[in-house]
Amino acid sequence: MIIIPAVDILGSKCVRLTMGDYDIKKEYNLSPSEAAVNWQELGAKRLHLVDLDGAKSGNPDNFDIIRDILKSVKIPVEVGGGIRDNKTIESYFDTGASYVVLGSILFKDIGSVSSSLLKYKGKIIAGIDLYDEKIAISGWKEFVEIPFAEAVENLKGNYGVETFIFTDIKKDGMLSGVNLNLISRLAKLNISLIASGGVSALDDIVKLKELNLPNLKGVIVGKALYDGRLDLKKANALLL
């Protein structure tokens, strides 16, 4: 398991939202590019970039900023937020993204991106956001009436998706601790799993490590890192 720092971009600024609410945001004094380089210098093995403007509009609104970040770091980067067509997927890979995270489009019109799922097999990550274990899409404004286990089975079996980021919406940005029970259940789905939501301090990393889940490949951390509650170097040392 690795720690994956998040760089969330809104209005060209580096921000953190609370439970995905655009009205409850905290802006940071460093730019998205500065944040990305900072986490790399502190030992991050991978970055999670999110275009929050794009997540709302469905367009790659912060493409130029993300392109500049991809040029400025040497570690793998996964990019998500409003990526809903083959052209945008290809553009991000062409500009240096290691992985592209797809969310809403997988449930609204997966056929429109099925060619990319095949072309970039192993590099497309499914981002599944859960609220009370229901799949939320479109900026967490709509719900999908499919159990998450069934959704995983479909995406893996029929479209070859291998890696899944599961975000616990109620935990996101709350610094309230990770949902160990949910993560343990998700790990039983026989997928490569990246957890997101709730990390508040080093103790959460210890608890995740103690689960001893071989397919828990990473945990995305945002506010805890930016607010100084979690030391990335110490967390990385713990996971060696």
How many angstroms separate the CA atoms of 129 and 196, rounded?
9
Give the CA diameter of the chain.
Answer: 44
For 148, the 3-state DSSP assignment is helix
Task: List, in sequence order, every residue forming a beta bridge with 192; answer none if it has no partner.
Answer: 163
Whether 44 contacts 1, CB under 8 Å: no
Which alpha helices (DSSP H) does the chain contain, by range?
A: 32-41, 52-57, 63-72, 86-94, 105-108, 114-119, 148-159, 180-187, 202-211, 223-226, 232-238
Sequence-distant contacts of 23-29: CB under 8 A, at least 24 apart: 24/173, 26/223, 26/226, 28/226
Task: List, in sequence order, every residue forming a beta bridge with 51; answer none if it has no partner.
Answer: 9
How many angstroms separate the CA atoms of 118 and 121, rounded?
5
Q: Which residues are catalytic?
A: 8, 129
